[in-house]
Amino acid sequence: MEIDPSDYFQTALRRWPVILVVALVGALTGLLVSQFQKPQYQTEAVLGVNINYGVTESLALIVEDRAINRVVALLLSDSVLQAVLDRLPETLRKTRNWQTSSDIRSVVRFDQRLAEWGLVAVDPDPQVAQEVAQTWAEVSLEFLDEAMIHAWRAAALLDESFDVICNFVGPQDPENLSGIWQCQVSPLEVDPEALEGTLQMELDRSHGVLPNLSYELLRGASLPEKPIVWRRGVFIASGAIAGLIVGGIAALAFPEKRTF
């Protein structure tokens, strides 16, 4: 028996009220389920991070992106999140059963909006959300401070690996005061292995952060007043899609009533 898909399509069009009603029932069911979800509170601390072009020449866009991405990677690293966990009150850690950086990672989110970076925390308790976001911001600034120190040390070591020797060469005629500077670059007499080891250590401790970075805390985390409802839309949409599928199957499975 040959099946013509157009027959099913025509049947679905004729019985669209059935599909629509079932889809609405699914959406209302999703809304009802969302009402029983535990409310979540969200807050964020905002950092301002950018390249300080007052102390460096402009960089190519891809270089700037890579430099910024290194900072993002540091703020989201296990080292930073573990430090956040260690700084939170012990009673809170036991209540939430937070033991590793992965537990903190599950309640935080990073929102990058150009030069404004939101360190977001979500939790059923608004005070806990505020404390996690604020602690994350404070720890991030401390890690950035430490990374910048080592970044500048690495830059200084690179500069000190060479020496510039300049001599003023004047004319033979003493009445002619014009002259030129002759300069040459020569390596410093230092132990290459010692310099390489020290430089590598400073680069590792800088986490790849450039010394021309500019950063500050623009806004601390505030206590959220209302729960977020972003999951409600997910439940409603899921219910509506499930309703469309069920309605379509029902419209095609049950035979139509025929009148003679």
- Choose between 176 and 22: higher pLDDT: 22
**Predicted local confidence at residue 188, as pLDDT:** 47
Integer angstrom CA distances of residue 252 from 21, 25, 239, 245, 249 = 15, 18, 20, 11, 5
Question: Cβ distance 30 to 246 under 8 Å?
Answer: no
**Predicted local confidence at residue 209, as pLDDT:** 84
Residues 6+ apart with CB under 8 A from 236: 27, 30, 31, 34
Which of 114, 117, 118 lies closest to 65 in space, CA to CA?
A: 114
- Furthest C-alpha separation in the chain: 125
Which pLDDT band holds residue 56 (cuts at 50, 70, 90)? low
One DSSP character per residue, 203-238 reads HHHHTT--TTEEEEEEEPPPPP-S-B-HHHHHHHHH
Question: Cβ distance 205 to 146 under 8 Å?
Answer: yes
pLDDT by residue (tens digit) across 234-244?
Answer: 777 777 788 77
Which pLDDT band holds residue 66 (cuts at 50, 70, 90)? confident
Which pLDDT band holds residue 168 (cuts at 50, 70, 90)? very low
Q: What is the phi/psi pair of residue 210, to 5°?
A: -80, 150
Per domain, the residue ranges of the chain are 6-38+229-254, 40-159+191-226
Which pLDDT band holds residue 160 (cuts at 50, 70, 90)? low
- With a cut of 90, say whether residue 140 has pLDDT above it: yes
Q: What is the mean pLDDT of residues 86-100?
A: 94
Q: Are strands 108-113 and 41-51 parallel, antiparallel or unpaired?
A: unpaired
Exposed/middle/buried for residue 250 (C-beta within 10 Å: 0-12, 13-18, 19+): middle
Q: How many CB atoms lie within 10 A of CB 62?
A: 8
Residues 6+ apart with CB under 8 A from 235: 30, 31, 33, 34, 37
Which pLDDT band holds residue 151 (cuts at 50, 70, 90)? confident
Exposure class string for 31-51: b at 16+ Cβ within 10 A, else e:
eeebeeeeebbbbbbbbebeb
- Give the lowest-confidence range in 8-12, 28-32, 197-201, 217-221: 8-12
Three-class DSSP category at 107: coil
- With a cut of 90, say whether residue 87 has pLDDT above it: yes
Q: Which fold has domain 40-159+191-226?
A: Bacterial polysaccharide co-polymerase-like (3.30.1890)
Exposure class string for 165-180: b at 16+ Cβ within 10 A, else e:
eeeeeeeeeeeeeeee
pTM of model > 0.75: no
Counts of helices then strands in the chain (DSSP H, E): 9, 6
For the chain, give the mean pLDDT. 78
**Predicted local confidence at residue 155, as pLDDT:** 80
Amino acid sitting at position 201: M
pLDDT by residue (tens digit) across 67-83?
Answer: 889 999 999 999 999 99
Q: How many CB atoms lie within 10 A of CB 2?
A: 3
pLDDT by residue (tens digit) across 179-224?
Answer: 444 545 455 444 556 667 787 888 888 888 888 888 899 999 999 8
